Amino acid sequence: DKTEQIPGPPGYPLVGNALSIDRETPLSTWEGWADQYGEIFRVTLPQGTVVIVSSQRLVHELCDEKRFHKPVRGALQEIRNAVHDGLFTAREDEPSWGIAHRILMPAFGPASIQGMFDEMHEVASQLALKWARHGADADIMVTDDFTRLTLDTLALCAMDFRFNSYYHDDLHPFINAMAGFLTESGARALRPGLVSVFFREANRKYWDDIEVLRRTAQGVLDSRRKHPTGRRDLLAAMLEGIDPKTGQKLSDASIIDNLITFLIAGHETTSGLLSFAFCQLIKHPAAYRKAQEEVDRVVGSGPIRVEHMKKLPYIAAVLRETLRLCPTIPVIARRANEDTVIGGKYAVPKGQSFLLLLARSHVDPAVYGESARGFVPERMLDDNFERLMKEYPDCWKPFGIGMRACIGRPFAWQEAMLVMTMLLQNFDFALSDPSYELRYKQTLTTKPKDFYMRATLRHGLT
Ligand code: HEM
C-alpha cells in the first residue's frame, strides 16, 4: 500500500478500522483521530483506504481542481437510485452535469434570487405566526420547524408547489418519503452488499419512497405544462433553458432528477444552519444583543424588505461564524486524478480517496489563533472575512469546492438572512433547558441534537 507512511490508527484484518467508527456520529471518531494523529491520517475501511486531512494548509492543497475531483460513492452513490446523474450526484465524466449546470446557473443570479424574496417572506411569516400562537411557554423543536420552513420555501420558490407544512399536523407524503429515503441511503452505504438481501422490508420501503418522490415531481412538471405561467423560477429554467455549449435542453427524466435533487440538497443544510445559529446566539448573549440591535436599527418594527438584506453585516457575520464552527456538511470527499504527493512528503496513488474534515480545518489555530474554537462573529465581518480568505485560502469551505461547489448558496443565504432577521425582530429566545450543551445529530448533514427553545413575542407580530 503506497499510503503506508501516513500515520493512522492500527486496524484489524479484513475490517480494518470499520468497527472503531461511531455509528451515530462518525464525525466524532474522525475528530478523535485528528487529535491523536494530526493534520493527516489514514483509515482502512472495507471499501479501501481513506486519507483524512484536517488543516487549512492540506485542505487548500486538496481543493486544487487540476489534481483532485469529487468522487460519487457511499451515501451519494445510493442517492443516485432516486436522482441518477442530477447535479449533486453526477460523476465527473457525465455530460449531464455540465448541461444542467450551464442551464441552471442563471436561475441563481442576483436578480432571480431577489425575485424570490416575497415568497421566502411568506413562508417565514407562517413560521413566525405559528410560534406566536403557541406562546411563550411552548417548547419549540427547532430543527423540525426549520426543516418545514426550508422545504416549503424551496418548493414554493423553485417550482410553485405548496407543501403547506404549517397548516397540517401530518407532513406531506413527499416529506416523509424524502426523510425515509435519505436515512436508508445512509444506512445502505454502510451495509456490505451481501448482507443487504436480508433487508427485504427496508428495501421495499426504500423503492416505494423513491416512487413517491418521482411521482410527486412528475406531478409538479405535468401541472406546469398544463397551466403555463409567466413565473421565472427554477422549473421554468429547466423547461425552457438551452445549454449554450451543446444546444441541448433538459429531458423530462433529467428535470425530475434535478427537481428532487434541489429539494434534497437545499433543505437540511439551510435548516441546520438556522438551528445552529440560534443555538450559538442564545449561548453567546453579547453577540445576540448585537444581532438584535442591528435588526432594530436597520429594519425597526416595519416590514422587512429585500433592500435590507445587504445592510445587515453583523447578521451575515453570525451566519458565517456559525458555518465555520458548525458546518452542516462537515466532511467533503475528494479523489486524486493521478499519482501525486501530499503535504510535500506523502505519496498517494491515482484514485486515492480523501476526506476533508471541515469541522477541524475551520478551527485551525494557524488561521484563527487562540480563539479558534470560540464563537466570535466579529472576525467574519466583511473586511475581516475577505482578509482571512485572501491570507489563508480555503480556510472557510462550508459551500464546497470549485465547479462542484453549492449552486444554491445565494438562495440559502437570502433565506437564512431573512429568517434570522424576522425572528430576531419579533421574538426573544431562550433555551427550554438552560443547562443544554450543544450536541450533534449526524445524518447526511449535521444538526443540533435535542435542541429546544422558547419564543416570547417582543411586541405585536410585524
Ligand atoms: C452542493 C453546502 C444550500 C443545492 C453543495 C456542496 C456543499 C453544499 C458543501 C458540495 C458537496 C460535495 O462536494 O459533494 C450547502 C450548505 C447550504 C446549502 C451549507 C446551506 C446553508 C443549498 C440550497 C440548494 C443547494 C438552498 C438549492 C437551492 C446544491 C446542489 C449542489 C450542492 C444542487 C450540487 C452542485 C454540483 O455538484 O454542481 N452544497 N448547500 N444547496 N448544493 Fe448546497
pLDDT tens per residue, range 305-340: 999 999 999 999 999 999 999 999 999 999 999 999
Q: Decide if 426 contacts 136 (C-beta within 8 A).
A: no
Among 439, 437, 436, 458, smallest CA distance to 448 is for 439
Among 31, 47, 28, smallest CA distance to 39 is for 31
C-beta of 329 in contact with ligand 1 (< 6 A): yes
Q: Decide if 87 contacts 97 (C-beta within 8 A).
A: yes
d(CA 354, CA 155): 34
Question: Cα 41 to the chain's mean position, in Å?
Answer: 25
Residue-level pLDDT at 193 = 66
Antiparallel, parallel or unpaired: β 353-357 and 331-336: antiparallel
Cell representation of residue 65? 481542481
Lowest mean pLDDT among 22-31, 46-55, 166-175, 257-266: 166-175
**Residues placed in the known binding site:** 406
Residue-level pLDDT at 1 = 66
Antiparallel, parallel or unpaired: β 68-69 and 353-357: unpaired
Q: Which residue has its alpha carbon closest to ligand 1 atom 15?
A: 399
DSSP 243-265: -TTT-----HHHHHHHHHHHHHH
pLDDT above 90 (res 111): yes
C-beta of 102 in contact with ligand 1 (< 6 A): no
**Residues placed in the known binding site for heme:** 406
The predicted-structure confidence for 355-378, as pLDDT tens digits, reads as follows: 999 999 999 999 999 999 999 999
ipTM, two decimals, is 0.99
Is position 68 annotated as part of the catalytic site?
Answer: no
Which ligand 1 atom is nearest residue 101's CA?
38
Sign of dihedral through CA atoms 14, 19, 20, 24? positive
Which ligand 1 atom is nearest residue 272's CA?
21
Residue-level pLDDT at 187 = 83
Question: Cα 178 to the chain's mean position, in Å?
Answer: 15
Could you give the 3-state DSSP secondary structure of residue 301? coil
Distances (CA, A) of 442 to 84, 263, 425: 24, 19, 30
Is position 183 annotated as part of the catalytic site?
Answer: no
Residue whose grid cell is 409567466: 230
C-beta of 400 in contact with ligand 1 (< 6 A): yes
C-beta of 332 in contact with ligand 1 (< 6 A): yes
Is position 399 annotated as part of the catalytic site?
Answer: yes
The predicted-structure confidence for 60-84, as pLDDT tens digits, reads as follows: 999 999 999 999 998 899 999 999 9
Compute the mean pLDDT over every residue in the chain, rounded to the nearest whole number: 94
C-beta of 11 in contact with ligand 1 (< 6 A): no
Identify the helix (H) or strand (E) that includes residue 234. Answer: helix 234-240
Q: Which residue has the higher pLDDT, 239 or 176?
A: 239
The dihedral formed by the CA atoms of 86, 328, 142 and 260, expressed in degrees to the nearest 10? 0
Q: Decide if 354 contacts 52 (C-beta within 8 A).
A: yes
Give me ligand 1 centre to Cα 326, in Å.
15
Q: Which residue has its alpha carbon closest to ligand 1 atom 17?
A: 269
Residue whose grid cell is 481543493: 63
Give me ligand 1 centre to Cα 356, in Å.
16
Residues across the chain: 462
Instruction: Classify residue 400 as left (phi > 0), alpha (psi -120 to 50) or beta.
Output: left
pLDDT above 80 (res 46): no
Catalytic, out of 49, 143, 269, 270: 269
The predicted-structure confidence for 251-261, as pLDDT tens digits, reads as follows: 999 999 999 99
d(CA 158, CA 282): 32
C-beta of 261 in contact with ligand 1 (< 6 A): yes
Residue-level pLDDT at 194 = 63
The predicted-structure confidence for 407-454, as pLDDT tens digits, reads as follows: 999 999 999 999 999 999 999 999 999 999 999 998 888 999 999 999
Which ligand 1 atom is nearest residue 403's CA?
38
Which ligand 1 atom is nearest residue 90's CA?
37
Residue-level pLDDT at 188 = 86
d(CA 362, CA 420): 23
